[in-house]
Structure 1
Amino acid sequence: MSSSRENLKVVAVDVKDIRFPTSLQSDGSDAMHTDPDYSCAYVTVRLASGLEGDGLTFTNGRGTEIVVQAVKSLSHVLLGQVVSDIYKDFATFWRSITSEGQIRWIGPEKGVTHLATAAIINALWDLWGKLSNKPVWRLLADLEPEALLSVIDFRYITNCVTKEEALELLKKGQVGKEKRIETLLKTGYPCYTTQAGWLGYPDEKIRELAQKYLDMGYTVFKVKVGKNLQDDIKRCELLRSIIGYDRTLMVDANQVWEVQQAIDWMKELAKFKPLWIEEPTSPDDVLGHAEIARALKPLGIAVATGEMCCNRVLFKQFLQAKALEYCQIDSARIGGVNEILSVYLMAHKLGVKVCPHAGGVGLCEMVQHLQMWDFVSLSGTSEGKVVEFVDQQHEHFVNPCVIKNAHYTAPLAPGYSTTMKPESIAAYEYPNGSEWQSLFAKGLFVDPRKASS
């Protein structure tokens, strides 16, 4: 092996449990997740040269240790590999990790093992960006269509989009690409905020935050609903009283309703003119979402879902069944960048807008790259599309996302914007970090190392 290849060999895959005590302020609270502690399984892939790629998968506190263990169980697939070989045929590597002969049994391609896969894959993309000295959105945009397709595993989705059809879509996306890159660098990509809409927030905080983001130029807002209809009506009234009816409002139930319940509840909220209802029922219920979509269409309310959609196959079914009008990919829920690209291709072929889910602990940092690639190289437009923005944990990243005039600005630093500051890792690694030691000492959380079994 040449010295350059030797330098590109993976010599370590490290994973840490990073948690933030967001439940103390009800940040991130919704009808289903009442006390989330925003967290991640944070993976670092190190090469023999010393260069590192960092990736993560978002979690909600308890359970992060299980995803961490799954990363450890999968790391043998990557250790010792030469990353340039992986990048030449990334789809084959992706399939090797999602089809690991024994671990696949406890997925397959869903749940804990797929969350772990995403963290590893995201770290590899961060590494590729750093090796190429490009931000990931630009790395993706600069790949020739054939090279881009070589990262995607088309297994199980060819009855929706074939490799040949995907190639045609990507070739069409080359037209005008440089002009769109100029536009992106100049104006960024539009976003909306959920920051004023968490279910656990008191009215005064909602009022204060809604006004703050309105003053910052936001025109699209999302509010959490689903626990109590009268409370939802009051919350929607409150937000509409601040943002008016010339701006856009969406509502999000986070999976708590039965199908008919979702229809009935949304009929009561229809007077607030929501653009969409997000996750109205079980994230696996394709036909239920389709029924809701049909019932709400006459009211002008669309269905959005996808943040908990577990893989490209389920996305395929949602898209084919017309069960969603807004497709919400999540940068860590399915198997990393490679699988997400396949969802973008299916959505584009079927004429469905992608409006990514984002949030705390790096989700915003990652997802901006994906949507910017779509704008530059696939759909060619941001018309009627927005990326979620939640203003949490950005200060812990070396290259945090930057919002100007309610637009994500295009990242310029090499990589996937996923590298955390060493001091943040030292403070928030669970349970040994200095911040957690302080929280345990104050009695705000129970130290798991001392809890009785």
Structure 2
Amino acid sequence: MSHKITALTVRDVRFPTSVEQHGSDAMHTDPDYSAAYVVIHTACGLKGFGFTFTLGKGTQIVVCAVEAVATLVVGKSLQEIVSDFRGFYRLLTSDGQMRWLGPEKGVIQLAVAAVLNAVWDLWARAEGKPLWKLLVDMDPRQLASCIDFRYITDALTEEEAVDMIVKAQEGKQQREDQMLKEGYPAYTTSCAWLGYPDQLLRQLCTDALKSGWTRFKVKVGGDLEDDVRRCRLIRQMIGPENTLMIDANQRWGVAEAISWVSRLAEFKPLWIEEPTSPDDILGHAAISKALAPLGIGVATGEQCHSRVMFKQFLQASALQFVQIDGCRVGSVNENLAVLLMAHKFQVPVCPHAGGVGLCELVQHLILFDYISVSGSLSNRMCEYVDHLHEHFTSPVVIRDAHYMPPKDPGFSCEMLESSVQRHQYPEGEVWKLNISK
């Protein structure tokens, strides 16, 4: 069967989530969850689906970047790509002219992630496996060969990576069986977006507790006294035994972050997420050191643009929780490098999700991490946001506040065509209605 890639299409798909303040935080007050949605077409008819996540405006820029990268993909076969996946990754990220727009960061890397997500989806479909299972079943050396170790060998070599995966073979089948039976622990962000009124917070917390949720994240950073009030409200509702996290979405400078979070320490948050600029490694290190006596860790990574940035965060002890994202870095290839580095530095991985489709993506990565790399659930959980899953052909399945492993072949990237058409910007029905208003 020929898996030669004959075409790559990309569309601008946007959901008007800003209308009800879904996803609102201190820095992103009116997000419209959106995606540059990619479909890879092959000669045999099999398709691969992928996307990168955006917040509305600017999605068209990512679409243009995907179209530029597509010229490096069309004409190749899936077999040719996966037989030298490291080389293919480097081909996309090291084009002599487009590299100048990155390198390996920003819009060009978001586009690369969308394309590579579709390639991984195609590969998993061709093998008849969900992506997590494709990764779990892969030979350690083949797995390592998918990673570009350029720039990170001072933290992790290819041989070290292979050794880690080989060592994790012990108990792997038991962990896989455990995940299939119990699922991976999740936490919810859906209860406490910054723009939600108190009445809605109370109702959502009440509903979540009844559904078995024990881990809750609250958005902070708008107003200190309001944060104190809202955190007190949430802590009273969930009780002292449940886990609370807070997320500032890059709102503060370093000193301000330390001062602000110290005021919130009475509510015993497990972590403060993105307290300052996502690029400020030394700033995060200073915040981590200052908050450690209070028992509060620092979590970041959803806007960390490359494995090189994660390497430095880990080397500087600047974070206590690594938050990978399915679209910010270069897809599975680069996230594999981050997962392995995090394991070497003994820092737990708690993926960023939410948005549109991000839960669908990261569930595969965190399942692989537990089964084939870390073997630990200590201080580990995966974010869950209850929005827009109905637009996917294989939506996430949550049972008792756990992600249940996907069973359908692929990377869970495929959207319903009816949803794509209805939400395509600006000609889709949803946007014609909104624009007319």
What is the TM-score when the length of structure 1 is the normalising length? Answer: 0.96
- Structure-2 separation of matches of 1:137 and 1:61: 29
1:38-437 → structure 2 map (5 Å cutoff)? 38-437=33-432
Extract structure 1 runs of 4+ deviating beyond 6 A: none
Report if the CA contact (8 A) 1:19-1:61 is conserved. Answer: yes
Report if the CA contact (8 A) 1:360-1:391 is conserved. Answer: no
Per the alignment, residue 27 of structure 2 pairs with 32
- Structure-2 separation of matches of 1:124 and 1:174: 26
Aligned length: 437
Q: Which amino acid aligns with 2:29?
A: T
Residue 356 of structure 1: how far off its partner (Å) = 0.2
Other structure's SS at 2:278 match: coil
- Structure-2 separation of matches of 1:409 and 1:8: 30
- Structure-1 separation of matches of 2:311 and 2:230: 34
- Structure-2 separation of matches of 1:396 and 1:433: 15
Identity %: 55
- Structure-2 separation of matches of 1:117 and 1:181: 30
Q: Which amino acid aligns with 2:134?
A: L
- Structure-2 separation of matches of 1:302 and 1:222: 14
Residue 440 of structure 1: how far off its partner (Å) = 1.8
Report if the CA contact (8 A) 1:173-1:380 is conserved. Answer: yes
- Structure-2 separation of matches of 1:432 and 1:402: 31
Report if the CA contact (8 A) 1:427-1:434 is conserved. Answer: yes
Residue 383 of structure 1: how far off its partner (Å) = 2.1
Q: Is 1:21–2:16 an aligned residue pair?
A: yes
- Structure-2 separation of matches of 1:180 and 1:301: 29
Q: Which amino acid aligns with 1:300?
A: G
Report if the CA contact (8 A) 1:41-1:67 is conserved. Answer: yes
Other structure's SS at 1:308 match: coil
Report if the CA contact (8 A) 1:360-1:394 is conserved. Answer: no
- Structure-1 separation of matches of 2:432 and 2:298: 43
- Structure-2 separation of matches of 1:262 and 1:63: 29
Residue 360 of structure 1: how far off its partner (Å) = 2.3
Report if the CA contact (8 A) 1:17-1:39 is conserved. Answer: yes
Where structure 1 has 5 or more consecutive residues not aligned to the other structure, the ranges are: 444-453
Residue 241 of structure 1: how far off its partner (Å) = 1.2
- Structure-2 separation of matches of 1:367 and 1:198: 21
Other structure's SS at 2:162 match: helix
- Structure-2 separation of matches of 1:212 and 1:318: 37
Q: Which amino acid aligns with 2:28?
A: H
Other structure's SS at 2:203 match: helix
Other structure's SS at 1:354 match: coil
Q: Which amino acid aligns with 2:62?
A: V
- Structure-1 separation of matches of 2:406 and 2:24: 29
Q: Which amino acid aligns with 1:87?
A: V
Q: List per-residue Cα deviations over 1:351-399 (Å, max 9, x = no partner).
A: 0000000012110000000000011100112222000000011000000
- Structure-2 separation of matches of 1:267 and 1:379: 31
- Structure-1 separation of matches of 2:57 and 2:430: 17
- Structure-2 separation of matches of 1:241 and 1:282: 31
Q: Which amino acid aligns with 2:380?
A: K
Other structure's SS at 1:44 match: strand
Where structure 2 has 5 or more consecutive residues not aligned to the other structure, the ranges are: none
Q: Which amino acid aligns with 2:170?
A: V
